Structure formats: C-alpha cells, structure tokens
Structure 1
Amino acid sequence: MTFDVCMVTYNSAKWIPACVRALAKAEYDLKCINLYFADNSSTDDTILVLERQKEMYADRFGLFEILRQPENGGFGKGSNAAARAGKGDFVFFYNIDTEIFPDAFLKLEAAIRKASSQTAAFELRQFPYEHPKYYDPVTLETSWISGACFVLKRSVFEETGGFDESIFMYGEDVDLSWHIRALGYRLQYVPAAITWHHAYQKPGEEKPLQLAGSIAGNLLLRCKYGNGRDIRQWQNLYEQIKPRIEASPEIVTAFHSQLKRVRRNRKQYREFWRDTVCPSAFCPSFLEFDYEFARGGAFYASHLPKKTPEFTVIVRTYRRPELLRMTLESLCHQTYEKFQVLVVEDGVDPGAEYVVNAFRNRLNIRYLPVNAALGRCMVGNLGLEAAQTDYVCFLDDDDYFFAEHLEVMACLIEEQPGCGLFVTGSVEARCKTDPENAEKFHYLSKRNSSGKLHLVDFFSGNPIPIQAAVFRRELFEQYGGFDESLDALEDWDLWMRYLTHASFAFAEKATSIYKVPADNESFGERDRFIGKYRKQVFEKMASYQGLISAQDIYGLFWQPDSKPIVNADEEVLLEEKEMEVLRDTVREIQRSTTWRITFPIRVIPHLLRLVTGFAGRIFLILLSILGKLFNKVAKGVCKGMEGIDTFCDWIGPSTPNPETAEKIVLQRFIQRSRNSLSWRLFHKETKDDFKTE
C-alpha cells in the first residue's frame, strides 16, 4: 500500500525538520511513502531547508520531490499540485506543522483494509487538541474530515478533482468532504492513528484569518451545497457575528478579500449545486457557522498515559442483543487497550451470549447471565462483585464511549492518583426510536451535558450520567454498591456516598454519549419516573456528611488572580506600545499608493461636508430661534448631515494626525479606511496578504 504524502509550504522553514524526521521514524516500509512538498513561493529559507532535508532523507523514502509553485495560490491549489505529481494508491494530505506518530501508517493501513469499499477517506487524530467535531462512536463515520491530516483514495481524488482551488484557505476541507459524500462515498475517523499538530500556540486561541476565512467559507459552502434559504440565513448569522469581525482591522481586510472570491465564483458554485448536489442523496447540515456538532472540551490537551491502570467496563443488558452489539463495537475502538469487559445480563431468559461470543477475539470479555429478573441495581452490584481490576466503570447497553474515553480516564488517574472518582464530560443525545424496533433510531439533537464540575454540584442534583465516571473498586468494598431499593437515581446516591470519603478528578472533554427520549411526552414520563425516587434519596442525604468547605462554595464565585501584577509604570509602557503600533499603521496607510491616488476621490466629498456642515449649523441656529414649530425640520437637517458624514466615511475617512489623535480615533480610521470604497477599489491583493497554515 503506497502513500503520497502531500504537504504545502509557505515560509515554513521552522516546521520542516521535525515533520520530516518524524516521517522518517515511521514503523512502515518507507519506500512505500512518497513525499511531495508544494512550496507556494516562500520568501524565507523554506526551499533551502527542504533541499537539506532531501539530501539527508531522500534515499530512505520512495520519492522526495520539491515542487516550486509560481505563486501563493492557497492551501487547496498547492495540495492539488502535490497530489497530481504522485501515483500512489492513496493521497495523504498533511500539514507541515505536524509530527506523525511512528505507528500511524500501520494503524491507517489496518483501518483501510477493514473498511468497506464505499469508504473513501480516513482522518487521523490530532494531538494535543483533538478536533472536537462529532463522529459516530460505533462506525467511526464522520461528516467531514480535517484537511490537516487525512488519506484519500487516489481514484476518488481524481473523480472529485481534489480541493476547489477557488478557495484560498479555510473551508476547503469541508467542501472536499461534502463533494466526496455527494458522490456516495463515506468518510471514516481513525482515532488510533495519531499525529501532533502545532496548530495553536495556546488553548482557546482565535486566529483572525481563521475567523474571517471560516465565515466567508460558510457562505461559499451554502452556495455550493445549500438552497436559497440556506444562503439567506447566512446574512442573518453574519449580522450576529459582525461585531467580532469589525473589532480588528486585520479581520476586516481578510474577510472582505475572501468574500470577494466567493461572490466572483458564485455562478460556478450554483452550477455545481444543480449538477452534482441536487441529483445526489446528500443533504448537508448548516449549524450556524459550524458543520457538525462539537463535543465539549475542544482544548483538552490529549496525551498518552505513562502508567497503565486496568479497568473493568461493566455492561448491564436486558433483552436487547443488537443494541448490545453496537455498544460492544464502540468498545473495540478504544485507543487504550488495558481493560476488560464484563457483560451482566438481567432476566430469566438470557439471550446475549451469542453476541458476546462474537467479540471474544476482539475484546477481553466475560459474560455473566443472572438467570433471574433482578433489576438494574442488583445486576450492577453483581458486576462490581465479579470485577477483577482496581478501577471499574459502567456502560449501559444503549450508550457508547468515544474512542479516547478510557485513555482520558487513565490520564486522570495518573495526574491525580489520590482521588477515588474520575469523571469526564458527556454528550446527551435526544433520540427518536422506532417503536417496533429499538435497534432503529436516530439523533434529533445533541448537547454537552456538563461544563466545569465542582463538588457542590453533586449535592444539588445528579450532574453526570453513569457512564461518565470511573471509580476505585475499593470504594465499593468499603462503602457498598447501589441501593437495591432504588430503581432510579441509584448512581447519584452512589456518587454522594463515595464523595463523603473520597475526592474526584474531572476532565471537561466529552468522551461518552447517552440517549434520552426525543419527544416531550416520553421525556416527561421518564422525568416523572425518576422523580418518584427523589424523596427517598433526599432522606438518605441526612447521613452523608460530605467533606465540603466554605472555600469550595466561595471558589465558585472568586478565584485568586493568576495574572502577574502590573505596576503603573508597566501599564503606561504597554499603553504606549499599543499606541505606537496604531500610529505606525495609520502612517503606513497614509503613505500607501492607494491612499495617495484616491485623494481626489476623497477630497470632493469632504469639501462638500465642510460646506454643508457650516450651512447646516447656521440653519439649525435659525430654526432654534423660531421655536418648537420647526423641530421636525431640524431633525431632518440633522439626519441629512449624518448621512453626508456616513457617505464621506464610505468613500474614505478623513485623515487624523497620528501624533495627536486619541486611541479611539486611530482605531476607527484604520477600520474605516480599509473598509472604504477608495481602498477596496484600488488596493490590490498580493501574495503576502494571506498565508497557508
């Protein structure tokens, strides 16, 4: 199986050595890996560094090619050029600011060989920040793939033509993903194949170009894959996010440049919608500016644990063999391998053994039929008694773990070994089920069920579903298991009892999904059933003396300031630095060719404003003398003067003195000048206006 690894470089010298070095350490036949670097006319030492790497590593790989592009045509165009240069079985689109794990190619090959013929593309998992978009935890199917690291069948690359080259950057991966799906193919996530991706310098970082490109790209995708209503909805969404765009001159400039590209190609996009999308069964989902539901904890720093605690996953089931099969399938995808599965079946006529047997060669699994109708609590306690590991957790037969669930739990245990309970975030899915067949269902909506979690949350209500927790088995041995008189809220009662004797650790990342009824009637019935047991749990609370302090409560409202203290002199220096940046930007605009050649266009409206402003003020004074009778006329004059001011700013704002103007005046000038008609008409984009990732 041969892979053509296609990378785009643009002033990327600092990333290249680590990327190539990691590829050279791959536990794979390197002669089956061909490297293609499409350089988008870099102005730094990128070409020199690539040539040095070629001298060092070319003989190890099948091919090592440097493809010099005549201009910076964007990520998609460069990627296509690299892909067309190769002839391997698979095209591997890969960002240059990455370092692949040694076993990633082996994991990819295993996933490809196992996949159906309709699966065309395979996406790797990214460290430290896994892409938060949802994927099916049972099939691993995903709605779109990240352009940072995915493998595509060459035949499908040729069928689609690759990336849409009218997209400079951002959104091109979603576009290609949807094109592939419109042709009837599937996309698969491969969480076992991992690469480091240095995409963010810090958690939660928002990149100006990414924000601008994503919003413009959203309109492009609506033009290519949506109907007229989808396109009109974009304008409403844009109005909501407009203040964030206008907050930065850099974002404004980038946004309008990319928006022009979309409008220039709109006719071509609508033809694609009519010719390719409409005849297909593909129907995309536009969730505001997102393309898929995002799991909580996007900036959880993923890493592999050094220690390997062993888990027992207790699966309670009752007469639902096919649902059980899907739950066990989700366990087969766990990236952490040191765990056992214990299936405990309730009921007098157990029938799940054949399902369990089908997984014996894929999971370390045991089957425990109780041969009696005992109920969920007694079945859970039997599972806890039969568990043979230090750490245990539950996964009911209609819920699922995402692939990294146990891996994150192992990391929590390693980081906070003194805790007894370990908890992660989860996804609540409103689920519509076929009344004739519980195996047929679909999700109507999803939401992240918890954000930050504090100890006090456990005493005000049950904040977590049962599958979101791992606990030490010794807690069960010392303080017991489920209260068998409860048929609901038994997990909440268990958490409160354990937390009176042990502390808990929490990772905000959503690593599991559980179902609730979609229709309000069923949901209400479920809620009423649970409510029957609330009084019983409340009465039990009297005996739970929790180790909760005043600081636990006060800490919800106040935390010590972790920021370094800045004295008055430092504040003045910071303010002066910011002002100097603004002054330099204003001077740069004033000295630019665009600003000089548009002087005649701007001066005429401003002279008109001076004349009308002077005449208008005299007229207003006369009206004020004549009295209230002329109030409406006065208001009209004021609106007219405001309109002239707006028109002048639209043509091009008046130029402030950068040495004496206030901060707000400089900021407004920068924003308005770059958004003015004069600037947009005469300012030409250059290859330095945008950079590839």
Structure 2
Amino acid sequence: MEKIAVVILNWNGVKLLEQFLPSVIQYSPEATVYVADNASTDESIAFVKKNYPTIKIVQNKTNQGFAGGYNEALQHIDAEIYALVNSDIEVTENWLKPILETFETEPETAIIQPKILDFKKKDYFEYAGAAGGFIDQFGYPFCRGRIFDNLEKDNGQYNDDTEIFWASGACFFIRSSIYKELKGFDEDFFAHQEEIDLCWRTINKGYKIKYCSESIVYHVGGATLQQANPQKTFLNFRNSLLMLTKNLPQNTLFQVLIIRMLLDGIAGMKFIIGGQFSHCWAIIRAHFSFYGLFLKNYKKREKNQIEIYFKTKSIVYGYYVKNGTVFGDVI
C-alpha cells in the first residue's frame, strides 16, 4: 500500500493539466500521482502519457461528476491517504509534509484541508474552502476567510491548525480507511457540497476534521462550472437540502428544513429583483428535485446523529442584517 496518492480528477481539462501538473510533480516526492479521467473527449490522456509517463492513469468509462468520478477511480488506488486535488490547483514546496505529520500524530483526525489561496490574486483567500469551512444551523456553508462572496486578504490571521466542520473538495485529504467505511461521496449529489456531506458523516462517526495552515495551495476556481452558471445554483441548493436530510438530528430536522426552504424562497426573490431569472428557476428546480429524492436520502440516515454545535445560527442574518463581512463578525 502506498503512503499517499495524489489523485487529480480530470474532465476535458488538458489545458489545466498542462499548466498545473508541473507543480504537483515537482513538489510531491512523497506521493504517487494519479490522473483520474472522467471520460474526457479532449487530448488529456494522450498529453499525460506523452509528457508525464510516471503518472498513473485511471480511466472512468463515463463522466460521473465529482462524487461518482472519485468513487469509481479510488476503487483502483491502494494508498493509506488519498489527496483529492482539483486540476486547477497549484501546489507549493513541502505542501504534503505538514499534512502527513498531522495524520501520523493525530489518529482521530480523518480529513485535512490546507490553506487555499486565490491563484489569480495570491494574497487573498479563495472561495472554495479558504481557511476551513463551517455551516450555520440551516445548512448554509461559509469559511474562515470567505463569507458569501466576500474574500479576505491573507494577513496571517488564520495561520493556525484548528478543527473545522468541512474541508474543501478542491484539495481534500482523507484516510482511505475512513473513505471506505463511509462508502465515499454520495453520488446523488453529482457535484457540489458532497464533500460537506462526507465531512458531516465523518463527524457523526466521531472523527475530526482539521485545517493545516502550513500547507498552502493556490486554486483558480470555477474552471469546470462557472460561478454564474444556473446549474451550479441548482446543485448547491438541492444538495444542501439533501445533506440536511441525511445528517441533522431527528428532533430538529423538519423544523430546519421548513425554515431553510423559506430562506431559499427569499434568495429566489433576490435573484428576481436582480434580473437573474434563470437562477430563481434553478432554486425552484432544486426544490422539486429534492422532493423526488427526499425518501431515498432520508433512508440513508445513520441511527445516531451527533448534536452539532454551529458557529452561528444564521450566516444570512450575520451578513445581511449585522453587515458582517469577515469570519469574526458573524460567529
């Protein structure tokens, strides 16, 4: 069994592989590097074989999204630690060392996220993960370093190693034994928030999730599905409701779902006022898709759900009513 496998999920991303594979190869001597290809139709596989013959390739037969793509590929990879890395990530020197040290000294830690900065603006945190993720009691995610679309400059304010609620799928380290115990990502999600769901299920099993500031990567973000894409809105709103259904304690589940759906309605009205009608329609579609998947996902619930301490009751209230723009303002 390998100690650590860096697994890059790729779909028609030959340009990204050209740009970002060099840093992964240069700075990952401890790891075996894999490209898990999600049935690309471009020259991705030919490029890797020609230019990086030491990289191992796992070819999925169909594009199963982030969740299904990794679930399929990781069945063929035998390593103690999986490092799941987006194809638009630039890594830095010694990025793996502090991660491996944390896993070795903290057996209760199952998942780790590095510091994720913006590739285009390298002194700022990046949207997808920043300095570690949390959710409020209604399932809205936020990060240290990122509240909604407000991104903080990295002034060393999060140069700590601390416990977090969720780690970003953009650069996600997990013990393979835990991944297998939890049967990986939920493929009903396809893409978006499946990593938060997996983290929540990990916490419900009694394990910890950590942020490691000494490991630094730079993320482009939005390279596969642009931020303004209505399909991204659909997936985020639907998957958040599925995640709540699966993981909230029974005594709060239905109360939270009702309030959450009302808040989603307000978000839809905000999209209408802003002339973003396709995003409002995406929320409506998300709710109907959720209704169709509710019973299936309710049956996935574990017998015991841990009562979670949320950093804040409502990130919506903290941001829009209290005018909080940074992590410290809204918790």
The TM-score, its normalising length taken from structure 2, stands at 0.75
Q: Which runs of 5+ in 1 are unaligned?
A: 299-424, 429-445, 448-693
Give distance in 2, aligned partners of 1:89 and 1:224: 27
Aligned counterpart, 1:54: 49
Aligned counterpart, 1:576: none
Give distance in 2, aligned partners of 1:8 and 1:264: 29
**RMSD of aligned alpha carbons:** 3.0
Which gives a bigger RCO, structure 1 or 2 (Cα 8 Å, sep 6+)?
A: 2
- Pairwise CA distance, 1:208: 3.8
Structure 1 counterpart of 2:183, one-letter code: G
Residue 159 (structure 1) aligned with residue 187 (structure 2): no
- Pairwise CA distance, 1:19: 2.3
When residues 257 and 242 of structure 1 are mapped into structure 2, their CA distance, relative to the original with a 3 A threshold, is closer
- Pairwise CA distance, 1:207: 5.0
Structure 2 counterpart of 1:266, one-letter code: F
> Is the contact made by 2:166 and 2:195 (CA closer than 8 Å) also made in structure 1?
yes
Residue 281 (structure 1) aligned with residue 306 (structure 2): yes
> Is the contact made by 2:165 and 2:209 (CA closer than 8 Å) also made in structure 1?
yes
- Pairwise CA distance, 1:198: 0.3
> Is the contact made by 1:212 and 1:252 (CA closer than 8 Å) also made in structure 2?
no
Aligned counterpart, 1:34: 33
> Is the contact made by 1:146 and 1:173 (CA closer than 8 Å) also made in structure 2?
yes
Aligned counterpart, 1:237: 263
State the Cα deviation string for residues 511-556 of structure 1 (Å, max 9, x = none).
xxxxxxxxxxxxxxxxxxxxxxxxxxxxxxxxxxxxxxxxxxxxxx
Aligned counterpart, 1:546: none
> Is the contact made by 2:268 and 2:280 (CA closer than 8 Å) also made in structure 1?
no
Corresponding residue to 1:79 among 70, 74, 78: 70
Judging by fraction of residues, say which structure has more strand. 2
> Is the contact made by 2:13 and 2:44 (CA closer than 8 Å) also made in structure 1?
no
SS at match of 2:48: helix
Residue 67 (structure 1) aligned with residue 65 (structure 2): no
State the Cα deviation string for residues 416-445 of structure 1 (Å, max 9, x = none).
xxxxxxxxx7826xxxxxxxxxxxxxxxxx
When residues 271 and 68 of structure 1 are mapped into structure 2, their CA distance, relative to the original with a 3 A threshold, is closer
Give distance in 2, aligned partners of 1:159 and 1:224: 17
Give distance in 1, aligned partners of 2:190 and 2:287: 11
Corresponding residue to 2:113 among 105, 120, 123: 123
Aligned counterpart, 1:404: none
When residues 146 and 239 of structure 1 are mapped into structure 2, their CA distance, relative to the original with a 3 A threshold, is same
Aligned residues: 284
Give distance in 2, aligned partners of 1:251 and 1:85: 38
When residues 153 and 199 of structure 1 are mapped into structure 2, their CA distance, relative to the original with a 3 A threshold, is same
Superposition pairs of residues 420-499 of structure 1, within 5 angstroms:
427=328, 446-447=330-331
When residues 200 and 103 of structure 1 are mapped into structure 2, their CA distance, relative to the original with a 3 A threshold, is same
When Rg is computed on C-alpha atoms for both structures, the one with the higher figure is: 1
- Pairwise CA distance, 1:289: 6.9
Aligned counterpart, 2:296: 268
- Pairwise CA distance, 1:139: 5.3
Judging by fraction of residues, say which structure has more helix. 1
Aligned counterpart, 1:105: 96
Aligned counterpart, 2:203: 181
- Pairwise CA distance, 1:238: 1.3
State the Cα deviation string for residues 282-305 of structure 1 (Å, max 9, x = none).
436485578x99xx998xxxxxxx
Aligned counterpart, 1:149: 171
SS at match of 2:35: strand
> Is the contact made by 1:7 and 1:79 (CA closer than 8 Å) also made in structure 2?
no
- Pairwise CA distance, 1:206: 5.1
When residues 427 and 5 of structure 1 are mapped into structure 2, their CA distance, relative to the original with a 3 A threshold, is same
SS at match of 1:140: strand
- Pairwise CA distance, 1:75: 1.2
When residues 238 and 150 of structure 1 are mapped into structure 2, their CA distance, relative to the original with a 3 A threshold, is same
